[in-house]
A and B are shown apart, each in its own frame.
Chain A
């Protein structure tokens, strides 16, 4: 189906892994779209109008109708443009994919956000939580639902690869910025191999920002968060850190790195 750019518009943010998910899906489907970069510290009236409930990116506008929440957008894209499917056909496979997409957003994402938003003993505990979550995924890859597969979607990238993949690069960034070992190739060999294969895909390379840019960005936010902790009293430190962590681990469809440390 021929689609002119004006019928598809994506409101997003360059460092938002939730935005990357949608960009990747659109790319995999060969769909042209207009991209609107949002300044999350000064959200556009359009964004606030189209996503009046959460006021967050990404928002996909198709024929002037908004769709919000990244996983919902992915399913919408898949159902509207049926070439190069990203969801499995079998209902049980679909249920498994949806379950793990939820897991990525409800458990792994917030756990990674908690690592970023903490330090010392709290951070150690947060790192443990990430490892617990990765262990579960590793088990599925080794002997469970995804045994023997190169990607979660099989031979090709599917919805779960997109959801887990766009976001997992932050684990490598956090490794560097905070010198924590999140994705250990020895502890999680299959997850590590999958992530490497995912990041090698042509379309993925075109979407994910350069690692240096992400590192610089993450360092900046981390610096700001830590300096907030140092310049406030012990009571407010807890509140500030908690607020930063809460902001970092906020609702899904909220880029956890961008939102931390800023009032949005």
Chain B
């Protein structure tokens, strides 16, 4: 591979919540890395070689080895750099953390896409689904400081990038995340007090602007 055989490289796209998970994890661990911005409409030969199966970002390249899929990358980061562990040590707690991170993966992005892409009844359905998904997550958070309890953990890393999309979801879906899930909004604010998060996430209005571009691209009003 035509890249440094040593060190850490992250192939990413600025607004991607999946890429942001990796950025947050690397920052939490204090790992130095090279960030490479990809143009998703003109993917680099490096990306295509590093992720031949999906051709997607993020890809972490560590000592020449590519790792793909954001939650796989975060677990890899957690296992290689063992300071500030993101996953708990107890197997049952780990299973719970993996479950909720996987739940975010399965539900949020797909439902969010329906919210901005669709209209009428289908959009209304997406709105209902999104509120249900967020309420389930709020139920899991409860009164804890983070999903990980007192410590910022795996589920927090998996979910917090999507908090920058709340404004877009609310605007497209005509509902209020604060009204439906106030604890989630408070949690997101607490997460933003961490430098790893505030330096990785973008302003929600910028995210919404990006959604606007996507809508134009797909011919959605």
A-to-B contact residues, CB < 8 Å: 53, 62, 65, 67-69, 72-73, 75-76, 79-80, 91-92, 94-95, 98-99, 102-103, 136, 251-252
Give B78 Cβ to nearest chain A Cβ, in Å: 9
Verify A95–B94 contact, CB threshold 8 A. Answer: no
CB within 8 Å for A65 and B53 given contacts A95-B75, A99-B69? no
The A interface, classified by DSSP as helix, strand, loop or mixed, is: helix
In angstroms, how far is the closest chain B Cβ from the Cβ of A199?
A: 25
Do B76 and A103 touch across chains, with their CB atoms under 8 A apart?
A: no
Judging by beta carbons under 8 Å apart, are A79 and B91 in contact? yes
CA distance A72 to B65 in the complex (A): 25
A69 and B76: CB pair below 8 A? no
Chain B interface size range: 20 to 34
**CB distance A99 to B68 under 8 Å?**
yes
Residue in A53, A95, A136 whose CB lies within 8 Å of B73: A95
The 10 A-B residue pairs with the shortest CB-CB distance, nearest first, are A79-B91, A91-B79, A76-B95, A95-B76, A95-B67, A98-B72, A80-B91, A67-B95, A72-B98, A91-B80
Q: Report A150 CB to chain B, min CB distance, Å.
A: 23
Q: Which residues of A contact B95 (CB under 8 A)?
A: 67, 72-73, 75-76
List residues of chain A with CB within 8 A of the CB of B62: 92
Beyond A94-B79, A99-B72, 7 extra complex contacts between A and B, CB < 8 Å: A53-B103, A62-B92, A67-B92, A67-B95, A76-B91, A99-B67, A102-B72
Assess A94 versus B102: contact at CB under 8 Å? Given A76-B95, A79-B94, A136-B53: no
Q: Does A69 contact B94, Cβ atoms closer than 8 Å?
A: no
